[in-house]
């Protein structure tokens, strides 16, 4: 006895109009990309020589915008922030002084005063081009002292004052360009 093979009914294929498919794809992309770009991470291209040799002009970075909502910035973090004197501009610098601390810069040596009697000199191996200064400043509870690694070519807190926390965008999370320097937390120093 021969079995009858199952009968296959031709299935009607449904194709959406290409424009409708494109609009659906665009809507999904917008729903995913915009919240990430606005609240989590954003691209940043280094412009200038203030962070040489850590970062060169044209380095392409991804900035982490969410970590500082849960954790406080630390000394040595490389951060992107809005320039306090013109918030339409973005700067990249290294955090040197934390809220409430007193900084003393004599020549090229930076010291932090944790209490009224004790100064701790910072070891800054990332500074290749030092600058001569004579500064002493006490930071408020919402201020950071930021400086470029190329001290001789950096416009930073030494010239325009402390950076208020409200201008902080985030920290340098990933370097994507140049390809031979791709890395996680570029510029991170080990204490």
CA angle at residue 71 from 161 to 47, to 5 degrees?
45
Say if residue 78's pLDDT is above 70.
Answer: yes
Parallel/antiparallel/unpaired status of strands 133-138 and 183-184: unpaired
Question: Does this model's pTM top 0.95?
Answer: no
For residue 90, what are its two tokens? Answer: 């973005």
Residue 73 makes CB contacts below 8 A (sequence gap 6+) with 79, 95, 98, 144, 168, 171
pLDDT range class, residue 59, cuts 50, 70, 90: very high
Class of domain 44-184: mainly beta
Which residues does the annotation mark as catalytic? 50, 93
pLDDT range class, residue 8, cuts 50, 70, 90: low
Say if residue 34's pLDDT is above 70.
Answer: no
Give the residue-averaged pLDDT of 77-103.
94
- Between 42 and 136, the higher pLDDT residue: 136
Backbone phi and psi for residue 158, each to the nearest 5 degrees, phi listed first: -65, -30
């Amino acid at each position: 006895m021969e079995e009858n093979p199952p009968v296959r009914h031709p299935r009607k294929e449904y194709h959406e109009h290409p424009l409708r498919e494109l609009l659906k794809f665009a809507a999904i992309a917008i729903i995913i990309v915009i919240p990430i770009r606005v609240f989590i991470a954003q691209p940043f291209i280094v412009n200038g020589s203030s962070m040489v040799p850590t970062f060169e002009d044209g380095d392409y970075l991804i900035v982490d915008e969410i970590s500082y909502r849960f954790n406080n910035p630390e000394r040595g973090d490389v951060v992107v922030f809005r320039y306090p004197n013109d918030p339409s501009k973005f700067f990249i610098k290294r955090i040197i002084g934390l809220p409430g601390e007193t900084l003393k810069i004599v020549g090229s040596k930076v010291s932090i005063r944790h209490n009224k009697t004790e100064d701790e000199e910072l070891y800054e191996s990332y500074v290749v081009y030092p600058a001569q200064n004579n500064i002493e400043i006490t930071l408020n509870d919402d201020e950071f002292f930021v400086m470029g690694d190329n001290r001789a070519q950096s416009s930073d807190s030494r010239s325009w004052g402390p950076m208020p926390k409200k201008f902080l965008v985030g920290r340098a999370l990933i370097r994507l360009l140049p390809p031979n320097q791709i890395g996680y937390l570029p510029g991170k120093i080990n204490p």
